[in-house]
């Protein structure tokens, strides 16, 4: 049976997704990748992951709406890490107000992301 | 069977104009046929090119990620060297190099840290750096720009002199790219070009420069006073932005001087910065200049008063509740509400027209 | 009149026709060449630009998207969602519900958690008053949205209301059913920010035809060639006009019109000239001419910019009735604008605007349908008088037809060499077929619409007002 912790990653930069997938799978997590907010929500509803990583600027539904959907509509407390190129206070505040647990501005170090992931899933 | 002789005879006897028309018709038919064939060829070629691009992109993506994951120590190990060699043999033409660079850029733009350094290393080890440096010597401006951009992206600092040669290039795009290079790689020290810059920096480039600078530690910023006094107006405007973003309180005296600058937009931006610093001394100067300044400056001054108003300003404020400009009136009344609500109610009861009544009603509830 | 005078008159008429036709062709070729050069430069200039830096900056200028809506209940929630998902940071979306008789407002209130708010309006331009009020969302994810519900006043009036409301530096005026790509705002604002020696007063974009394209939830997923020839012909027309025409005018800085479906202005400049004119059906062209005139009179160095990138996608008419109605309105708009600003025509005080742009628009856009119809009538008269050399006539018609085909193929090639939006197989073939058929399919309809437009303009005054009030802003 699959005891691996599931992580949903919503990111429209395919190269970055691939990189993070490798890195996180090496650490023992199962990665589900979405290219946009809509796919992300579908994956979250189907697989009920233990962690959600999402970019803010995405096609269809933005990362902020993903957070809002998870906290307000699905009403679950799954840890959420948000990252975005628009790394200003406004975006960070909104993300935290909506219920995100952690935030990393792009460009970020994948190694550091892994550390934070481990911390949240410990 | 077409009777060629008859046709020719017919043609010969046509008036000149009609002859010309038929010749043109013939030419057009030929052109149209040629263009249709070219179109078919072009579409096929573009389709093929896109398929190959996708394939190469995926291949290079895999190569890059394998390279990054095989990293064990600082120096490149054997496994990585194999990947490097494989890539080197592949990127033999401009098309492939362009794709490989785009794969690396796509990733590099979003990540930092050790992995980012590895990517830079890969760029050097695959000799792409030599191609970028070669681009600097081109006489086509867009090639030079591409070269500088690549050297910038992969953080190659030791080509500084070669890049600097283009700092006064006649094309704005090249100059911009050089400036971005300076600032990305040398942070605040890279702004030294402002000392001697004769050309204008566009708003677009100013924003780009500031965005890059904001990633670095602002302790490094040097004295911006000389730039505020520059004869180059775009340098002054840029420095005003710097003053605000980096909280350069110490230059307030220089800012006060700028309130009398000949350029309206500099005066305007100065008021905004003084507003941000909430400099009371500015009020006296601005009040003196008030009657003669432009409406934009007057509005900006009132926005400043919102943050710096004192009781002594009340008379000035009340006077301007009748100002001809709507925004000034609203701001004056808004400030008055905080300062002396009774006076505001007094004015309300004497309100002349409907428009002002709307403002009073709005202020009552907000 | 004796026969030799008649002959001379006829000869003069013939010469005039030829000169006109020849100059039309020459101008098309010249404009196409200039467009090609400008496109080349534009692509080189922007092929490597990283727009991400500008979009994520909070120092980047503020933009308001103003989208008037009239009876758009069917799609309005999705359209607004699309506008809200732009990647620019510093912007808001002002939807102006222009006295719609349907439930647009209710749908928006429900979808976006809107509540009515107090808002102090700066009445810089006179407009129709508010109806149900001004609304904002209680959900921070939709903070960028402002919805205005006002009494009907037409598209220009709604846009003016938006201008009054906006607190931002730049405004983008679009049709609410236009699909904007995510990076449109950064691309549109670039011209305003990258000039150093002149002022950009407006930038206009290309309208791409969305018919048959796959659009889901406000996002363009796939570009397909439409099925009907009437739709494909319009694509050809747009390609010619945008890629081979407007690029050139932009380079010459003689652009007289920015598409009403998608244009960006500096808000202050737009308000300074008094906003949109509610008395014309050609308000998009009219405001540009007025703004240009204003700048010429101020003797300030200025530019009207143009972005050829495919950023805005909208549905084009798919049947003749709507198409003719649309072109009729465009014709009347052109006549109205040219008439209103006739003072600048051939007036050296207005430089290029008066000496080149206006005359060109007058002779080659406004008069062209009339001259063509006169030519046809003349030809019919000749036929009835049995005074026609059929072989000559055939040659001339064939030449005109082939030139049109040739020019259109050049336009298709330009598209392939620049944006290459129609990648699927067989679309090339369909485009070529449409090219050969267009002079028989589309052109007669457009000619008819233009003539009807002229007739309606001169003889049917009440049509103007009724239409605007009823339709609001149909395309």
What string of DSSP letters covers C7-53? HHHHHHHHHHHHHHHHHHHHHHHHHHHHHHHHHHHHHHHHSS--THH
Q: Look-up: residue for tokens 């398929």?
A: B51
**Contact yes or no for B110 and A112 at CB 8 A:** no
Which residues does B contribute to its contact with A (CB < 8 Å)?
61, 64-65, 68-69, 103, 106-116
Contact between A15 and B112 using a beta-carbon 8 Å cutoff: no
Q: Are strands C91-98 and A102-105 parallel, antiparallel or unpaired?
A: unpaired
> What are the distances in angstroms from CA B155 to CA B101, B183, B205, B316, C248?
14, 11, 19, 55, 39
Q: Is C142 on the interface with A (CB under 8 A)?
A: no
Q: Do A98 and C140 touch (CB under 8 A)?
A: yes
Share of chain A above pLDDT 90, in %: 34
Which residues in chain A have Cβ-Cβ distances shorter than 8 Å to C52?
A: 85
pLDDT tens by residue, B199-246: 999 999 999 999 888 878 777 788 899 999 999 999 999 999 999 988
- Which pLDDT value is given to residue A60? 64
Nearest-CA distance A35 → chain C (Å): 13
Average pLDDT of span B127-133? 94
SS (H, E, C) B86-101: HHHHHCCCHHHHHHHH
Please report, for residues B89, B216, C425, the alpha-carbon distance to residue B219 in angstroms, rounded to integers and kept in the order given: 45, 9, 58
Contacts of B263 (CB under 8 A, 6+ apart): B233, B236
Q: C385 at the B interface (CB within 8 A)?
A: no
B219 close to B188: Cβ distance less than 8 angstroms: no
A vs C, Cβ pairs < 8 A, gives 33
State which residue of chain C sits closest to B334, comparing Cα positions.
C120
Say yes or no for a CB contact (<8 Å) between B61 and A18. Answer: yes
Chain B residues whose CB is inside 8 A of the A13 CB are 106-107, 110
Q: With an 8 Å Cβ cutoff, are B113 and A13 in contact?
A: no
From the CA of B39, how many Å to the nearest CA of chain C? 6
Question: How many angstroms separate the CA of residue B116 from the nearest CA in chain A?
Answer: 8
- A88–C219 C-beta distance less than 8 A: no
- What is the distance in angstroms between the Cα of C403 and the nearest Cα belonging to chain B? 7
Supply the pLDDT for residue B12: 84
- How long is chain B? 366
Is pLDDT above 60 for A59?
Answer: yes
> Which region holds residue C416: left if phi is over 0, alpha if psi is between -120 and 50, else beta?
alpha
* Among the partner residues B65, B109, B114, nearest to A109 by beta-carbon distance: B114
Name the residue among A13, A14, A108 with its Cβ closest to that of B112. A108
Query: What pLDDT, in 10s, does the model give residues A15-42?
Result: 999 999 998 998 889 999 998 888 899 9
| Res A103 pLDDT > 90 | no
- Is the CB of A86 less than 8 angstroms away from the CB of C85? no
Q: What is the predicted pLDDT for the residue at B350? A: 80
Residue B359, pLDDT score: 86
CA distances (Å), origin C54, targets A85, B203, C135, C174: 11, 11, 29, 22
CB within 8 Å of chain A, chain C residues 84-123: 85, 87, 89
Q: Which residues of B touch C123 (CB under 8 A)?
A: 326, 355
Cβ–Cβ below 8 Å for C123 and B326: yes
Q: What does the pLDDT look like over A60-86, one tens digit per residue?
A: 667 888 888 899 888 888 999 988 775
Q: What is the pLDDT of residue C54?
A: 60
Cβ within 8 Å, pair C120-B362: yes
What is the signed CA dihedral for C425, C429, C435, C436, rounded to 10 degrees? Answer: -160
Interface contact B110-A14, CB threshold 8 A? no
Q: Nearest by CB to C120, which of B28, B42, B359?
A: B359
CA dist C445 and C324 (Å) reads 7
In chain A, what residues touch C91 (CB-CB under 8 Å)? Answer: none
* Three-class secondary structure of residue B1 per DSSP: coil
Q: Report the residue from B65, B68, B109 with minimal CB separation from A107.
A: B109
What pLDDT, on the 0 to 100 scale, is given for residue B1? 57
Decide if B46 and C392 are in contact by the 8 Å CB cutoff: no
Distance CA B228, CA B238 (A): 9
Q: Which residue positions in chain C have pLDDT lower than 70?
A: 1, 48-56, 461-475
- What size, in residues, is chain A? 122
List, as one string, the DSSP characters of C54-89.
Answer: HHT-TTSPPEEEEEEESS-TTTHHHHHHHHHT-S-S
The answer to whether C211 and C382 have CB atoms below 8 angstroms apart is no
Give contacts of C139 with chain A, Cβ < 8 Å.
Answer: 68
- Look up residue B15 and give its two tokens: 């008036």
Q: Do B46 and C420 touch (CB under 8 A)?
A: yes
> Any residues with CB less than 8 A from the CB of B303 and at least 6 apart, and which?
B272, B275, B331
Question: CA C175, CA C155: separation in Å to the nearest integer?
Answer: 9
Q: Is A87 on the interface with C (CB under 8 A)?
A: yes
**DSSP-H helix ranges across B109-224:** 114-125, 128-135, 141-153, 160-164, 172-186, 203-213
Nearest residue, CB atoms, C395 vs list B21, B211, B326: B21
A108 at C interface, C-beta within 8 A: no
SS3 A103: strand
Residue A108: list chain B partners with CB under 8 A. 110-113
Interface contact C219-A59, CB threshold 8 A:
yes
Pairing label, strands C262-266, C199-209: antiparallel
Q: Identify the bridge partners of residue C68 per DSSP, sorted by sequence position.
A: C96
CB distance from C52 to chain A under 8 Å?
Answer: yes
The pTM (predicted TM-score) of the whole model is: 0.89
The two structure tokens encoding residue C300: 């300030």
Lowest mean pLDDT among B10-19, B224-233, B301-310, C205-214: B10-19
Q: What is the mean pLDDT of residues B127-146?
A: 93
C54 vs A contacts (CB less than 8 Å): none
Tokens 């107006």 found at: B233
What span, in angstroms and rounded, lies between the C-alpha atoms of C267 and C269?
A: 5
Apex CA C245: angle with CA C242 and CA C248, to 5°? 115
DSSP conformational letter for C363: I
Q: Are B345 and B357 spatial neighbours (Cβ–Cβ below 8 Å)?
A: no
Please tell me whether the peptide bond between C287 and the residue prior to it is cis, using omega within 30 degrees of 0: no
Q: Could you tell me the strand order of the sheet in which C179-180 lies?
A: C114-117, C130-137, C145-150, C91-98, C63-69, C170-174, C262-266, C199-209, C302-314, C179-180
Q: A80-84 and A51-55 as β-strands: parallel, antiparallel, unpaired?
A: parallel
DSSP B271: H
Q: What is the pLDDT of residues B248-293, one digit of tens each?
A: 888 899 999 999 999 999 999 999 999 999 988 899 899 988 998 9
Task: Judge: C193–B203 Cβ closer than 8 Å, yes or no.
Answer: yes
Cβ–Cβ under 8 Å, residues B81 and B75: no
Extract the tokens encoding B250: 């110490």
Hey, are the CB atoms on A59 and C182 less than 8 Å from each other? Answer: yes
Question: Residue C200, Cα to own-chain centre: how many angstroms?
Answer: 18
| Mean residue pLDDT across chain B | 90
pLDDT of residue B13: 84
Distance from CA of B188 to the nearest CA of A (A): 20
Nearest-CB residue to C87 (from A57, A88, A94): A57
Report CA B243 to chain centroid distance, whole Å: 19
Q: Between residues B37 and A1, which one has the greater pLDDT? A: B37
Determine, for residues C141 and A62 on separate chains, whether the beta-carbon distance falls below 8 Å: yes
Residue C112 and residue C143: Cα distance in Å, rounded?
A: 10
Q: How far is C143 from chain A (nearest CA, A)?
A: 10
- Asked if C185 contacts C78 with a C-beta cutoff of 8 angstroms, the reply is no
The answer to whether the Cβ–Cβ distance between C52 and B109 falls below 8 Å is yes
As a whole-number percent, the residues of chain A with pLDDT over 70 amount to 91
Instruction: Note the pLDDT of residue C82.
Output: 86
Residue of C406, C408, C421, C439 for testing the chain B interface, max B β-carbons within 10 Å: C406
């Amino acid at each position: 049976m699959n005891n691996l912790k599931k992580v949903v990653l919503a990111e429209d930069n395919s190269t970055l997704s691939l990189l993070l997938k490798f890195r996180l799978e090496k650490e023992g997590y199962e990665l589900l990748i979405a290219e946009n907010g809509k796919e992300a929500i579908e994956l979250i509803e189907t697989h009920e992951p233990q962690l959600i990583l999402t970019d803010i600027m995405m096609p269809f539904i933005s990362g902020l709406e993903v957070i809002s959907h998870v906290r307000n509509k699905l009403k679950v407390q799954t840890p959420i890490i948000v990252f975005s190129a628009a790394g200003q206070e406004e975006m960070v505040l909104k993300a935290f107000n909506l219920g995100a647990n952690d935030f990393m501005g792009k460009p970020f170090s994948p190694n550091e992301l892994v550390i934070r992931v481990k911390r949240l899933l410990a | 069977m077409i009777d060629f002789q008859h046709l020719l005879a017919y043609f010969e006897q046509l008036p000149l104009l009609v002859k010309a028309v038929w010749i043109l018709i013939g030419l057009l038919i030929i052109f149209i046929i040629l263009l249709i064939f070219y179109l078919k060829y072009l579409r096929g070629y573009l389709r093929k090119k896109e398929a190959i691009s996708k394939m190469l992109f995926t291949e290079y993506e895999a190569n890059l990620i394998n390279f990054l994951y095989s990293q064990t120590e600082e120096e490149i190990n054997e496994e990585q060297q194999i990947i490097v060699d494989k890539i080197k043999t592949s990127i033999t033409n401009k098309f492939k190099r362009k794709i490989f660079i785009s794969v690396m850029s796509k990733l590099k733009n979003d990540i930092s840290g050790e992995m980012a350094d590895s990517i830079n290393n890969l760029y050097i080890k695959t000799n792409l750096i030599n191609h970028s440096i070669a681009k600097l010597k081109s006489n086509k401006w867009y090639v030079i720009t591409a070269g500088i951009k690549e050297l910038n992206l992969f953080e190659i600092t030791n080509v500084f002199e070669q890049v600097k040669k283009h700092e006064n290039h006649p094309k704005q795009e090249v100059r911009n790219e050089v400036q971005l290079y300076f600032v990305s790689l040398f942070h605040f020290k890279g702004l030294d070009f402002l000392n001697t810059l004769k050309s204008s920096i566009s708003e677009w480039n100013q924003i780009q420069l500031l965005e890059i600078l904001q990633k670095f530690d602002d302790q490094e910023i040097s004295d911006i006073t000389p730039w505020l006094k520059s004869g180059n107006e775009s340098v002054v405007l840029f420095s005003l932005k710097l003053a605000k973003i980096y909280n350069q309180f110490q230059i307030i005296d220089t800012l006060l001087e700028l309130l009398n600058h000949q350029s309206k937009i500099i005066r305007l931006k100065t008021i905004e910065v003084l507003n941000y610093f909430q400099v009371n001394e500015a009020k006296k100067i601005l009040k003196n200049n008030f009657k003669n300044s432009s409406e934009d400056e007057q509005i900006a001054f009132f926005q400043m008063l919102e943050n710096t108003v004192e009781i002594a300003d009340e008379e000035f404020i009340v006077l301007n509740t009748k100002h001809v400009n709507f925004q000034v009136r609203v701001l004056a009344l808004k400030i008055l509400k905080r300062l002396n609500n009774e006076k505001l109610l007094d004015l309300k009861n004497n309100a002349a027209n409907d428009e002002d009544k709307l403002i009073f009603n709005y202020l009552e509830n907000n | 009149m004796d026969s030799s005078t008649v002959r001379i008159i006829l000869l003069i008429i013939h010469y005039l026709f030829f000169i006109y036709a020849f100059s039309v062709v020459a101008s098309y070729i010249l404009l196409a060449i200039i467009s090609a050069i400008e496109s080349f430069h534009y692509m080189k200039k922007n092929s490597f630009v990283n727009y991400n830096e500008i979009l994520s900056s909070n120092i980047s200028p503020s933009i308001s998207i103003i989208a008037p809506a009239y009876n758009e209940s069917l799609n309005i929630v999705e359209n607004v969602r699309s506008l809200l998902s732009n990647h620019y940071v510093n912007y808001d979306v002002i939807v102006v519900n222009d006295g719609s008789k349907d439930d647009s407002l209710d749908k928006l209130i429900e979808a976006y958690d809107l509540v009515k708010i107090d808002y102090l309006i700066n009445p810089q331009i006179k407009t129709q008053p508010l109806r149900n009020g001004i609304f904002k969302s209680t959900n921070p994810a939709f903070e960028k949205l402002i919805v205005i519900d006002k009494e009907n006043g037409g598209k220009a009036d709604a846009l003016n209301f938006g201008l009054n409301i906006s607190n931002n530096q730049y405004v983008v005026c679009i049709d609410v059913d236009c699909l904007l790509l995510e990076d449109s705002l950064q691309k549109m604002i670039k011209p305003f920010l990258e000039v150093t020696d002149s002022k950009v007063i407006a930038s206009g974009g290309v309208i791409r035809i969305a018919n048959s394209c796959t659009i889901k939830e406000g996002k363009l997923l796939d570009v397909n060639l439409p099925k009907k020839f009437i739709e494909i012909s319009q694509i050809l027309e747009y390609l010619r006009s945008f890629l081979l025409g407007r690029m050139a005018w932009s380079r010459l800085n003689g652009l007289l019109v920015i598409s009403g479906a998608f244009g960006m202005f500096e808000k202050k400049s737009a308000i300074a000239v008094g906003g949109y004119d509610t008395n014309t059906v050609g308000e998009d062209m009219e405001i540009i001419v007025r703004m240009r005139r204003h700048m010429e009179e101020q003797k300030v160095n200025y530019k009207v910019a143009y972005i050829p990138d495919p950023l805005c996608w909208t549905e084009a008419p798919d049947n003749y009735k709507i198409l003719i109605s649309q072109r009729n309105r465009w014709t009347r708009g052109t006549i109205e604008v040219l008439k209103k600003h006739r003072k600048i025509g051939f007036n050296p005080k207005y430089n290029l605007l008066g000496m080149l742009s206006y005359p060109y628009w007058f002779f080659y856009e406004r008069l062209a349908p009339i001259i063509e119809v006169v030519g046809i009538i003349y030809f019919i008269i000749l036929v009835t008088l049995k005074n026609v050399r059929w072989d000559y006539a055939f040659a001339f018609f064939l030449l005109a037809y082939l030139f049109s085909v040739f020019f259109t193929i050049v336009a298709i090639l330009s598209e392939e060499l620049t944006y290459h939006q129609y990648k699927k197989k067989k679309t090339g073939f369909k485009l070529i077929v449409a090219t050969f058929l267009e002079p028989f399919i589309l052109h007669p309809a457009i000619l008819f619409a233009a003539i009807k437009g002229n007739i309606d303009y001169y003889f049917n005054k009440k049509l103007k007002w009724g239409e605007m009030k009823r339709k609001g802003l149909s395309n």
